[in-house]
């Protein structure tokens, strides 16, 4: 599986999509990282263990541990690593 990151106005590269088949793009601002659902679940599990929450989301962070892809927008690429963005608030627009 490949997780697709695109930069926000602030420059933060946020997970914006994923592909379960080989993915390529001509978009220069996209970064694609090979990962697995279990690796993403482990990131959310570590955040849960640290007492982090999914800000502005009705479901608890446990839901992201069980099925991480719907919550991928809480993940950013920092120094080449996928990490949980504890300061992120999902827009309700």
Query: 49-93: per-residue pLDDT in tens?
Result: 999 999 888 889 999 999 999 999 999 999 999 999 999 999 865
Closest CA to 89 of 20, 29, 34, 8: 8
Per-residue confidence (pLDDT) for residue 18, from 0 to 100: 97
Q: Is residue 72 part of a domain?
A: yes
Question: Which residues are 78's β-sheet partners?
Answer: 81
Task: Give the pLDDT confidence score for residue 86 in this predicted structure.
Answer: 94
Q: Does position 38 have pLDDT exceeding 70, yes or no?
A: yes
What is the overall mean pLDDT for the chain?
94
> Residue 93 domain-assigned?
no
Instruction: Round to whole Å and give the CA distance between 89 and 85.
Output: 9
- Strand, coil or helix: what is 68? coil
Return the closest-CA partner of residue 15 out of 90, 63, 92, 46: 90
Is residue 78 in a domain?
A: yes
The total number of structural domains in the chain stands at 1
User: Which domain covers residue 71, as residue numbers?
Assistant: 2-84
Predicted pLDDT of residue 33 = 96
C-alpha to C-alpha distance for 36 and 33, rounded to whole angstroms = 10
The predicted model gives 5-32 an average pLDDT of 94
């Amino acid at each position: 599986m490949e997780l697709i990151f695109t930069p926000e106005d602030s420059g933060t590269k946020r997970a914006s999509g994923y592909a379960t088949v080989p993915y390529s793009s001509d978009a220069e601002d996209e970064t694609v990282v090979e990962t697995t659902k279990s690796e993403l679940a482990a990131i959310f599990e570590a955040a849960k263990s640290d007492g982090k929450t999914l800000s502005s989301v009705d479901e608890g962070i446990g839901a992201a541990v069980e099925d991480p892809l719907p919550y991928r927008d809480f993940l950013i690429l920092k120094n080449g690593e996928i990490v949980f963005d504890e300061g992120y608030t999902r827009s309700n627009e």
